[in-house]
Structure 1
Amino acid sequence: MIANYHTHTARCQHAWGEDKEYVEQAIAAGMKVLGFSDHCPWVFPEGYVSRTRMFPEQLDDYFYSLEDLKREYARDITIYAGFEAEYIPELMEDQEKLLEGYPVDYMILGQHFTANEMTAPYTGFPTNSKAELKKYVDTVISGMETGKYAYVAHPDLFHFTGPDEVYEEYFLRLCQYLKAHDIPVEINLLGVVENRHYTSERFLKIAKKAGNSVIIGCDAHTPDRLSNAEYVNACRKMAEKLELPIVDFLPGLGVIER
C-alpha cells in the first residue's frame, strides 16, 4: 500500500497518537502519500458540542501541525491536509465559512448521519428501514454531486438488516453512480480488522456487478494502523477474491513531484 487518504488525529476525540507518529509509521510502511482527513468540525446551533470530531478552535493547530510536517518530511512522503465530513445541506454554508482561508487539500464524504447530528441516529446502527436506506443513498449521491468530496469513506456504513434484494437495489444505485464518475469504492481497513459490518463481501459483490474499482482506506485512529501489513493484506485479499481492481492514488492526489 503506497497511499492512504483516510487518517485521523487525536483532535477528533476518539483517536490516539501524535501527528508525527502517523507520518513516521506511514514512511516505515513504504507509503508515498499520506492524507490526513480528520473529522471536520461543524458550526452547530444552540451551543451543541460534538464528541466525535475536532472543535472549530482546533483548526489552526491542525493546519500548523500538518504544514510543519509537510516541510519536515518533504523528501520522504507527500502529505495532504483534508477532512472527512458528512453532507448536511442546512449546515454547509456555515462550515464553508468556518474553513474559508484554510489550505484544505481535499475532503472525503463519511455519511455518519443523514441529518443534523443533534437529532439524527448514527447510520451504523442496525435498522431494517427501507426509507432510511434510501435517504442515506440519496444523501451520499447528493453530496458527491456537489463536487466537494474526493471519494466516499466506508460507503456501506449504513447498517441495513432488511431483505437482501432491497439492500442490493439501493447500494447498486450508489455503486453505479460512483462507477459513472470514476470514483473508487473504499475497502475500509478499520471495519475489516475489527469485524464490523463494513466493508462487507455482500457490498463488494454489488460493487463487482457495477464494475467498480476499489481503494483501501486505513481509517487510521492509531498510528500502527498505517504500518500493519497483515491488515492491509486482509483488505487486498477481499478485493482479489472478487477480482476488483485496486487503485493506489485518488485523481489529482498522487505523489508531488520534487
Structure 2
Amino acid sequence: MKFDLHTHHERCGHAKGSIREYVEAAIDGGLKVIGISDHSPYFAHEEDRPNPRLTMATSEFNTYVEEVLSLKKEYEDKIEVLLGMESDFLPDVAHVYRRVLESKPFDYIIGSVHDVEEIRIFDRNRWKGLNEQEQIELKELYYDLIEQSARSGMFDILGHIDAMKGNYPEFSNIPTHRIDTSLKVISECDVVIEINTSGKSKDVGGWYPSDEILEKALFYGVKVTFGSDAHVPASVADEFERVSKRLKEIGFKEWACFRKRQRYMIEL
C-alpha cells in the first residue's frame, strides 16, 4: 500500500500549494493514504505568528483542522485523508502543545526537534569554531531532546531523527554512541521513526535517517514509517518505492500507518 504521512502546504509560509493540491497529487500518484501534517503554530508564543516563514499562525489552527476534516469526507471514496501535524518539541512549553493537540481528532502527531539551544538545526553557522568536544556535546544535546520527545508520550512518530546533518554532513561523523541510547529509548517508548526523503534538498543530499541508523533501528526493534516531507505537491511520496526496496534489503518486514492515534502495520 502506497502512503505518505508527512506533507505541508502554503499555510506554513515556506511550502507551496493548497491542501487540496496535495490530496490530488496523492491520488494521481496512486496513493491509498495521504497524511496532511503541517507545522504546528507556536502555541506558547504571545504573538499570533512570530515567524511567518516557519509555521502557520495560531489563529489558523482551527481552520487548518476543519479544512483537512472536510477534505477527508469529500475524498473518502478516492483516498483516505489523515489529519496530522508536525509539532515542534520544546520541553519548557510542551504542556501547552500537549493540551492543544489533544483537543483535536488527529490521526497522528509527528514530533520533531527543529531547534537546539534556540538555534535552528539547519543553521550552518552554529558549527563554526567548535572543537571536537563541543561538537560532541552539541550532538548529544540534540539526541537528548529526541529522547525527551520520545518519553513525552505526545507523539506517534518522531520526525527526521538525524536531520541536524542536513546542512552539515559532517554531523554524522561526530564521534558519539548517543544514537544507540536514543534508539533504545525510542524502542522502549514504542514510538515510530520516519524515513524522510526531503534531505535531498539539503547539503547532505540523502534521506533521514542514514542506512546505518536504520540498521541500528532494526536491531533495537524500532518501527518505521514513510514521509516525503513534501513542500510542493509534486514531491508527494517522493522515492517511496526506493525507500521500500531499501528497507527490505536492510531486513524490515513492515512499516506503520495510523488512524485515530492507533497504529497499524503494513507489509512492505
Instruction: Please classify the TM superposition score into its range, dividing by the shorter chain length.
Output: 0.7 to 0.9
1:112-136 residue CA offsets vs partner (Å, 9 max, x unmatched):
1134xxxx22223464511122211
Equivalent position amino acid for 2:160 in 1: H
Task: Check conservation: 2:87, 2:111, Cα contact below 8 A.
Answer: yes
1-structure distance, mates of 2:143, 2:172:
16
Q: Once the 2 structures are TM-superposed, how far is the Cα of residue 205 of structure 1 from its aligned partner?
A: 3.4
Q: How many residues align?
A: 248
1:20-51 residue CA offsets vs partner (Å, 9 max, x unmatched):
11112222333222221110001325787122
Q: Once the 2 structures are TM-superposed, how far is the Cα of residue 164 of structure 1 from its aligned partner?
A: 4.2
2-structure distance, mates of 1:212, 1:96:
23
Task: Check conservation: 1:192, 1:198, Cα contact below 8 A.
Answer: no
Matched, 1:203 2:201: no
Unaligned runs of 5+ in 2: none
TM-score, structure 2 normalization: 0.79
Q: Once the 2 structures are TM-superposed, how far is the Cα of residue 202 of structure 1 from its aligned partner?
A: 3.3
2:120 alignment counterpart: 122
2:32 alignment counterpart: 32
Matched, 1:142 2:148: yes
Structure with the bigger percentage of strand: 2
1-structure distance, mates of 2:243, 2:194:
10
Equivalent position amino acid for 1:124 in 2: F
2-structure distance, mates of 1:70, 1:204:
32
1:79-102 residue CA offsets vs partner (Å, 9 max, x unmatched):
222211121122234445555744
2:160 alignment counterpart: 154
- Root mean square deviation of aligned Cα: 2.8
1:76 alignment counterpart: 78
1:112 alignment counterpart: 114
Change (3 A) 1:188 1:242: same
Q: Once the 2 structures are TM-superposed, how far is the Cα of residue 148 of structure 1 from its aligned partner?
A: 0.9
Matched, 1:185 2:186: no
1-structure distance, mates of 2:155, 2:226:
17
Q: Once the 2 structures are TM-superposed, how far is the Cα of residue 152 of structure 1 from its aligned partner?
A: 0.6
Task: Check conservation: 1:192, 1:235, Cα contact below 8 A.
Answer: no
2:6 alignment counterpart: 6
1:87 alignment counterpart: 89
